[in-house]
Each structure stands twice: as C-alpha cells, then as structure tokens.
Chain A
C-alpha cells in the first residue's frame, strides 16, 4: 500500500509547519486599534477628534505646567522670572505648603504630631479595611482615636486615657448584663460609661498631679488646611456608619417610638442642606446652649456633619435591607435567633454587602463636603486658599495653581476610596451568584 501511496502522492510533509504569526491585519496592535478605535468610519472620526482634543489640552497645559516657577517669594517675582513666557507659579505651593496642609495657626514645631497621627491612621485603619490582616490588630484600631486625639490636640494624657477607660467600663458592664438581655446590656453599658465620664472630671487633676504627662495643647481654632478635611472626613464617616445602621434598623422597627424617632430624624436631616446645619453649628447653637458652655467648634461641626451623613447612610442601608428576600428574615426566625442575633448573623452581613457602593458614594461625597466649613470661617484646604493665601499681597491672583493642587489632593483620596470599595466588592462578590 505504501508503495502505491508513495507513487500517487508527490510530496508528504514529514514535520509540522511552524506556527506562523497571524496576519498583521487580524492580530496585535493593529487589530486592537481596528476593533476599538477605527471599527467604522464614524468611530474613526470620533477617535481622531478625541486625539486632537487630547493633544490640544496637553499642548495648552503641559508647557504651562512644566515651565512653572518653583522658587519665588511672590506672584510678581514669578512673573519676573517667567519674563513674559507662559508658565505656572508653583512657588505659591512651595511657600505655603505647610499652611495648605496644616492651616496657618498650627504651631510649626508641632507638625510632626498630626503627621504621625496620619501615618498611624493608615496602620490602624488597615485591619478594618483588609480582612486578611490578623484580627488581633483590631486592638490597635480601637485605641487609635484616643492616640490621635492626644497627638493632634495635645493636653494632658489623662483625658483620652480616662475616656478610653470609660468605654472599657461600659463594655465590661455590657458583657456582664448582655447574657440576660441585649437591651439591658446595652443600656447598662451606656449608663456605666456615662457615670464614669462624669466622674472623670474629678479624677484628672489628681492624676495629672501624680503623673503630669502632657503634650503642648493646641486649641481647635488652630486646626486647618487639609488636616482639617481629613480629621472631619475620617471622624464623621466612621461615626456615621454605626449611627446610620442603627437608624436604618430603627426605621424598620416594630416599636412605634423608635420607628418614628428614626423616621423624623432621617427625613428632617435629609430635608435640610448641610450648609444650613453648619450655620446652626457655628452661630445659632451658641444661643441655645447656656452662656458658659463652650462647646468646641470642631466638635459642633463634627456633630452636624455626622448627623447629616448618618441620615444618608441610613437610607442606603435601608435599601440594602429592603433588597433582601423576605425568606432571609423568616429563615432567621425559624432558626430561633433573637432580633440582635438575626441582624448580626444573617441580615446585616448581606444587607451591608449590597449597600457598599451606596455607602462609599456617601463617604466620598461627605469627604468633599467637608470643604463647606470654609463658609463658616474655618480654614480647611479651600478656606486657606480662598482666605489667607489669595488675600495676601504676595499671592493675590494665583488661582489655577492653588485650586488645581486642592483638586489633586481630593482626587487622590477619593479615587483611593473608590478603588478600595471596588476591591472590597470583588472580595465579597456582591452579585450573589
């Protein structure tokens, strides 16, 4: 047979042809370009138009950015150095760098304290944000607020220490009583902590006399710059999350008083612009409180922003709760779980997972809203720019550079938050296969 075959077939390939690359036109960069940018004449036209637009923007801005002056004492000096050519005056950032970050009244020799607090924030927030880290690190997170307060505001170390002890007392009482009933544990814990904090005032002087550990105190009025935005953003977001969840649950409660308190709070706060609440915090609140109470301005603003954000988070979480099938609630009931257990173990983990994009949306919005405090004459980043820096005779007239810088700082933080939330969603796979 083989003979026949050999005679009838002129050529037999004995080895495989080496694989050839696909033709230029259907692979590699060309194919990608064809598929994505030039798939038909209309898209090709759009691509060319976009390329031209990008070129135009860069051609306008890049020379201005790169030709910038970094060392000068005033806008006039900048212009002298530029000598008529187009260029940015980045020198304002160099000269006012510390003011932009810390405000203009925070003592410069103490800048290390907020900086350290910020670094610690990154470390201590990590275990909450990344489930892969050892759970024991959560202890760091629990202590962080007191450390940060001590670092940024200074004063006697006993104030934050005793406040922390108050929380521990409350928790101890709670864990004692919670075995009997959740409500008893909760309210018992709150009352115990409050009693301890009332006594705290009497404990601080003798303790300070025995061990006078203190950092130089910095009053709230001296906080400013991007530091203030970060303080307000971090504190308000982390406080508004638990409050918002509580409100969302309260709104669904079958107890009429709790339900109506939650509904009225949420609807009232959502119906009022944040700026109005800030005005209330700044000017009106002073008249409602007794004359001698001097509630710290930052504290007042924190309370108002937190209230505002919790109302929104409550509605976001309520959306998550509503999205859960009725069966999940019934399943929890049929297992014999009580309300607290059902919520903690079955309902909330699922509802919060669904709510992540909404919560992040509120968080990002809230962080940007902290710039509104510039309207009540607090010198956050935008307040610093609009007030002291633009009003100095040296820098009056520098707009693009300063606001561009502010935009960049906010973009970095907000983009970071958004990327984190997307990572978290992938981790938790919220699409519920």
Chain B
C-alpha cells in the first residue's frame, strides 16, 4: 500500500506532542458505548458505505467483530474514515480506538510511528495485470514493456528492484490515481498495470470485459495488511488481536455463523469450548463477557465467511484465497492456540 512521507512526518510530530494517549481504551469504549474505528474513505471490497450509508467490507467486518466482542453489539461502531495521510494521526490523537484500513505492517510504522499492529487479516502483494491479447503468462516475459505505475508509492520502488534483479528493461508510465490508471491501461497507453494484487482484482472487476485481462501469477512484494492500535495500551491491543485470532481460528475449527448457537451450548472440543466461553474464563481475562467471541462471530461469521462475502470468488472482485487460506490448506492464516 501507499506510504506517504508526509503522513509519517505529521504523525511523528503529532506523537511527540501527545504520545501519552490514555491506556484505558477499553474503559473509554465501554463508557462511550461506541467503538471508534478508523477505516478507508473507500476501497472496493474492503470498506465502502452502501446506498443506505451502511459501511461494509472486509476491513469493516473486523471493526464490527471487535465492537461485538467488546460491547455485544456489532452496530455500535462509529466509522471514522481516514485517508492514507490521516490514519496514523487519527489513531495517535485518540480520535479512533483502532484502525482497520488496509495498512501494510512495516518496521517503521510499527516501531518509529509508535503503532501496534495486532495481526494480519490480508496478505497482499504487488502483481501485474496484462491484456490477454499480449500473450504473456509470466512476469519474467515482460522485458521492454510499458508499465503504468502509481508515483510515490512503494510499488514504484518494488518494480524497479524486480526488473533490475531480473535484468529486464521497462518503460514506466507514471500516473497519479487508480482511476487514472484504469483509463490509461484500457486506452492502451501501457501494456501492463501494476499495483497490489487485490487492487488489480478490484480494478479488473470494474472493466467492461474482465475476461480479456489476466493477472500474472508473480507477486513481487510483501504487503501484509492488518488492524492496528496505539502503543501503550497492551490490554486493548490484546482484545483486538485475539478477536482477529478468534475469527481466523473459528474458520479452522469449523465454527460458522450458522452453527455457532449450537456450538455455544458446549462441545466435545475443549479448544472450541474455551473460545466460546463454556470452559475457562478467557473473556474475563480480557476484561470482557464470557461470550465475547460468540458475539464477534455472530457479527459477520468467521474469517472465511467474511472473506467470501466481501472479496471472495463469488463477488465481483473475485479474489482467490491464495496466501490467505488457512495454514491447513496451504495458506498463511494461522492463529495461535486458545489455551
């Protein structure tokens, strides 16, 4: 995803000024009765309000799950839309309690900007899209291609690195926004369009004839996207982290929004029992009700259900699970045990 130097600069000054944000986020959220969650101003499939103004999307579902876990109500969320430039300051200043905004987990953002990334809900990476007519089936065949690329982003640097390490040449066509890229690419100004793979899929989904374009299999960078909270409140970080882990683990153990009522009565599987609060006191340890994860899962189902509903293969975006499959199915989604 994009990294803005300005955002970092502003965020750093901001944190220097007000670094000691309250460590009592859980209390504040409970008193307020509403979770303030920072989301994108609009990203297809990840966060966008529908015609009725209801927010929905893959990132939004994480906010709703946390709200359900903490407050018992998935609709007690105030969505604060943040741009790439304002997301970290909104978090640091306490305007939002957490950010779930397709944000790449990087060293500097974690360490230097004093954020705490609590997990990864989507493994993204930079990919290439080409028209089928070009007859290219691998990125290694792109020598000499003209490539549309968004300026000022990590994708630009990744591209240069990739082509240099593969001893290939390319001709960059710099563009400003994804919308512009879409027009340029369709008009034939460039042979290839490169950005994050999820973005490519969403862009392609909006084409008149998506079938005429292919996304090449090579992924040339790591873009792990995940929710984050402020540094300095480990209890709150734990809540968000384990809600996300709960969604992922629920898919692994087959807990879905349809069978959760039944499973919440108690099962033979002690791990499921511990998650759903019929055994042990995990909710209490987090400072929440014992059925916290039941509520979180009722909000939108487990990780797999959320994925399928918002960005999965049956949606216009049509992303395959790929890296985001459970570890048992060859992906990277791996929740630590509930023990």
CA separation between A394 and B51, bound complex, in Å?
10
Interface residues of A in 350-384 (CB under 8 A from B): 375-377, 379, 383
CA separation between A99 and B86, bound complex, in Å?
23
Give the contact stretch, choosing among A144-152, A153-161, A276-284.
A276-284
Contact with B along A274-299 (1 / 0, CB 8 A): 00000100111011100100000000
Q: Which residue of A lies closest to B13 (CB)?
A: A284
Q: Using known A-B contacts A104-B49, A388-B49, A392-B48, determine if residue A283 contacts B82 with beta carbons closer than 8 Å.
A: no
Most chain B C-beta atoms within 10 Å of own C-beta, residue among A95, A283, A286:
A283
CB-CB < 8 A to A75: which residues of B? 206
CA separation between A247 and B85, bound complex, in Å?
33
Contact with A along B59-93 (1 / 0, CB 8 A): 00000000000000000000011110110011001
Give the contact stretch, choosing among B37-45, B118-126, B139-147, B236-244.
B37-45
A120 at the B interface (CB under 8 A):
no
CB–CB B205/A376 < 8 A: no
Most chain B C-beta atoms within 10 Å of own C-beta, residue among A75, A79, A387:
A387
Q: Using known A-B contacts A283-B89, A284-B10, A287-B18, determine if residue A386 contacts B42 with beta carbons closer than 8 Å.
A: yes
Contact with B along A374-411 (1 / 0, CB 8 A): 01110100010011111111101101000000000000
Contact with A along B83-105 (1 / 0, CB 8 A): 10110011001110000000000
Interface residues of B in 113-131 (CB under 8 A from A): none
Interface residues of A in 62-93 (CB under 8 A from B): 75-76, 79
CB–CB A284/B14 < 8 A: yes
A105 at the B interface (CB under 8 A):
yes
A96 at the B interface (CB under 8 A):
yes
Q: Which residue of A lies closest to B311 (CB)?
A: A393
Most chain A C-beta atoms within 10 Å of own C-beta, residue among B41, B179, B315:
B41
CB-CB < 8 A to A375: which residues of B? 83, 85
CB-CB < 8 A to B49: which residues of A? 104-105, 388, 392
Q: Using known A-B contacts A286-B95, A388-B41, determine if residue A396 contacts B202 with beta carbons closer than 8 Å.
A: yes
CB–CB B183/A399 < 8 A: yes
Q: Using known A-B contacts A391-B47, A392-B48, determine if residue A283 contacts B42 with beta carbons closer than 8 Å.
A: no
Q: Which residue of A lies closest to B207 (CB)?
A: A397
CA separation between A389 and B208, bound complex, in Å?
18
Most chain A C-beta atoms within 10 Å of own C-beta, residue among B13, B43, B48, B202:
B48
Q: Which residue of B lies closest to A288 (CB)?
A: B17
Q: Number of B residues contacting the other chain (C-beta, 8 Å)?
A: 39
Contact with A along B18-46 (1 / 0, CB 8 A): 10000000000000000000001111110
CB–CB B45/A393 < 8 A: yes
Q: State the Cβ distance, A278 to closest chain B Cβ, in Å.
A: 11
Provide the main secondary structure of the chain A interface: helix
Residue in A96, A288, A291, A388 whose CB lies within 8 Å of B42: A388
B280 at the A interface (CB under 8 A):
no
CB–CB A393/B82 < 8 A: no
CB–CB B205/A279 < 8 A: no
Q: Using known A-B contacts A75-B206, A387-B81, A397-B206, determine if residue A283 contacts B10 with beta carbons closer than 8 Å.
A: yes
CA separation between A132 and B116, bound complex, in Å?
64
Q: Which residue of A lies closest to B6 (CB)?
A: A279
CA separation between A34 and B208, bound complex, in Å?
48
CB-CB < 8 A to A284: which residues of B? 10, 13-14
CB–CB B10/A99 < 8 A: no
Q: Using known A-B contacts A104-B49, A390-B42, A393-B317, determine if residue A287 contacts B81 with beta carbons closer than 8 Å.
A: no
CB-CB < 8 A to A388: which residues of B? 41-42, 48-49
B262 at the A interface (CB under 8 A):
no
CB-CB < 8 A to B40: which residues of A? 387, 391
B182 at the A interface (CB under 8 A):
yes
Q: Using known A-B contacts A79-B208, A104-B49, A399-B179, determine if residue A393 contacts B315 with beta carbons closer than 8 Å.
A: yes
CA separation between A288 and B49, bound complex, in Å?
32
Q: Using known A-B contacts A393-B317, A397-B206, determine if residue A283 contacts B83 with beta carbons closer than 8 Å.
A: no
CB–CB B205/A387 < 8 A: no
Q: Using known A-B contacts A282-B86, A377-B81, determine if residue A287 contacts B51 with beta carbons closer than 8 Å.
A: no
Q: State the Cβ distance, B43 to closest chain A Cβ, in Å.
A: 5
B316 at the A interface (CB under 8 A):
yes
CB–CB A377/B208 < 8 A: no
Contact with B along A90-115 (1 / 0, CB 8 A): 00000110010000110000000000
CB-CB < 8 A to A288: which residues of B? 17
CB–CB B53/A391 < 8 A: no
CB–CB B42/A393 < 8 A: no
Contact with A along B164-187 (1 / 0, CB 8 A): 000000000000000100110000
25 A–B contacts, CB within 8 A, in A order: A76-B316, A99-B51, A104-B49, A221-B80, A279-B85, A283-B90, A283-B93, A291-B94, A375-B83, A376-B86, A377-B41, A377-B82, A387-B40, A387-B42, A387-B81, A389-B42, A391-B47, A391-B48, A392-B42, A393-B45, A394-B51, A396-B202, A396-B206, A399-B179, A399-B183
Binding site for B on A (CB under 8 A): 75-76, 79, 95-96, 99, 104-105, 221, 279, 282-284, 286-288, 291, 375-377, 379, 383, 386-394, 396-397, 399
Apart from the given pairs A388-B49, A396-B44, 8 other A-B contacts in the complex at a CB distance below 8 Å: A283-B14, A283-B90, A286-B18, A287-B17, A287-B93, A387-B40, A394-B51, A397-B207
